[in-house]
C-alpha cells in the first residue's frame, strides 16, 4: 500500500492514503494493488459499506484471518531505511516488517530502481510503504510526532582485522539492552555505507547488534529482522496499544478491496442491483 501523504480531499489518516504513481517510481511497478479508483470507492462509500458489500464473498476463515492480523498490528513501531542501493534488500525489509506486524516502512533517498515481487511475495499489499526524500526532514517530522528515533550502526570494528574505522559514530548499546520509549522509529542504513552521519548524530539512541564470529557484518534485511523482532516482542509484552478500531475497519476494507478479484466491478454491480 503506497501512501501519498499530501493527497487532497481524502482522509489520509483514516484510509491510509492514495496512490500517486509518479512520486513512487522506485516501487510502483512491483506493488500498487491499491489504486486511486480503490481509494475513491473507499472514500465515497466508507469502510463499513465496503465491508458489507464484499464480506459475503469471503470465507469465514479468510475474514477471521484478516481481522486477527489487524488485531496483532503494532502501530507504535516503524522502520526507516536510508539510501538503500539493492532493491532486493528493500523488498526483503518490507516483507520482514509486514510479517512482524508493522504498519509502516519508510524508504528515504532511495538509490535503486525496482522491488522484486519474488522477494516481497505480496507483502507490500498489506503494509504502507512511504518513499521520501530528505532524511533530516523526515527525522524532524517524526520528532514532531514524539517518536523516539534509534539508529542502527555497525559494532566497534576490530582494529586488527583491517576493517574500516567509523570515527563519526557515537557510543552505541547492544540491541537487546535498548529501553524503547514508544512510539519508536528504527533507522537502518544501506548495504555499503550504513546510515549517514547526520542521521546517527540526530538520533535519540544508537544501537548495534553484537557479533561473535569472524564475520563482522550482517545483511541489511537480517539486521533489520533482528531488531524489529526484539522490539516487536517488547511492544507486545509491555501491552502497548494496537490499532484503533476505526483504523482496523479502514484497513479491513482496503484488504478486502485488494484481496477480492475484480472487487470494483463487483461493487458496482451490487450497487446497481440495489438501486433497481
Judge whether 220 and 84 are in contact, CB under 8 Å: yes
Judge whether 116 and 90 are in contact, CB under 8 Å: no
pTM of model > 0.85: no
Q: Which helix (H) or strand (E) holds 128?
A: strand 128-132
Residue 153, C-alpha cell as written in the block: 550502526
Place of cell 538503500: 84
pLDDT level of residue 161 (50, 70, 90 thresholds)? very low
What would the pLDDT profile of 63-101 be if each residue is shown by its tens digit? 999 999 999 999 999 999 998 877 788 888 999 999 999
Range name among 121-125, 200-204, 225-229, 270-274 with the lowest pLDDT average: 121-125
What would the pLDDT profile of 168-217 be if each residue is shown by its tens digit? 556 789 999 999 999 999 999 987 788 999 999 999 999 999 888 877 77
By CB atoms closer than 10 A (0-12, 13-18, 19+), residue 266 is middle
Longest Cα–Cα distance in the chain? 80
Say whether domain 74-241 belongs to CATH 3.40.1280.10.
yes
E-strand spans in 25-71?
Answer: none
Q: Is the pLDDT of residue 59 over 90?
A: yes
How are the residues of the chain apportioned to helix, strand and coil, as percentages rounded to the nearest 5? Answer: 45, 15, 40
At residue 216, the pLDDT reads 72
Strand ranges of the sheet holding 184-188, from the earlier edge strand across to the other edge: 128-132, 104-108, 77-82, 184-188, 148-152, 205-208, 173-174
- Neighbouring C-beta atoms of residue 274, cutoff 10 Å: 8
**Neighbouring C-alpha atoms within 13 Å toward the C-beta of 76:** 19
pLDDT level of residue 272 (50, 70, 90 thresholds)? very high
At residue 124, the pLDDT reads 58
> N- to C-terminal Cα distance for the chain?
34
At residue 190, the pLDDT reads 81
Q: Where in the chain is the domain with CATH 3.40.1280.10?
A: 74-241
| Helix (H/G/I), strand (E/B), else coil: 118 | helix
Amino acid at each position: 500500500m503506497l501512501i501519498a501523504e499530501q493527497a487532497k480531499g481524502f482522509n489520509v489518516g483514516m484510509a491510509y492514503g492514495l496512490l500517486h504513481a509518479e512520486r513512487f517510481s522506485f516501487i510502483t511497478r512491483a506493488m500498487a494493488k491499491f489504486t486511486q479508483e480503490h481509494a475513491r470507492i473507499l472514500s465515497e462509500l466508507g469502510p463499513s459499506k465496503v465491508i458489507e458489500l464484499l464480506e459475503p464473498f469471503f470465507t469465514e476463515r479468510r475474514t477471521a484471518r484478516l481481522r486477527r492480523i489487524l488485531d496483532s498490528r503494532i502501530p507504535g513501531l516503524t522502520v526507516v531505511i536510508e539510501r538503500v542501493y539493492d532493491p532486493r534488500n528493500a523488498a526483503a525489509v518490507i516483507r520482514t516488517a509486514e510479517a512482524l506486524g508493522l504498519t509502516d516502512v519508510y524508504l528515504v533517498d532511495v538509490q535503486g530502481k525496482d522491488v522484486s515481487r519474488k522477494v516481497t511475495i505480496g507483502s507490500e499489499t498489506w503494509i504502507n510503504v512511504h518513499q521520501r526524500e530528505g532524511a533530516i526532514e523526515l527525522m524532524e517530522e517524526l520528532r514532531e510526532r514524539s517518536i523516539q528515533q534509534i539508529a542502527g550502526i555497525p559494532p566497534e570494528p576490530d582494529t586488527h582485522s583491517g576493517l574500516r574505522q567509523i570515527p563519526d559514530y557515537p557510543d552505541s548499546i547492544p540491541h537487546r539492552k535498548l529501553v524503547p520509549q514508544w512510539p519508536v522509529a528504527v533507522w537502518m542504513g544501506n548495504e555499503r555505507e550504513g546510515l549517514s552521519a547526520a542521521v546517527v548524530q540526530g538520533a535519540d539512541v544508537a544501537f548495534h547488534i553484537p557479533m561473535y564470529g569472524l564475520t563482522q557484518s550482517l545483511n541489511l534485511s537480517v539486521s533489520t529482522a533482528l531488531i524489529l523482532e526484539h522490539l516487536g516482542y517488547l511492544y507486545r509484552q509491555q501491552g502497548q496499544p494496537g490499532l484503533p478500531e476505526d483504523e482496523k475497519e479502514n484497513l479491513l476494507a482496503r484488504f478486502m478491496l485488494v484481496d477480492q478479484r475484480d472487487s470494483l466491478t463487483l461493487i458496482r454491480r451490487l450497487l446497481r442491483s440495489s438501486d433497481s
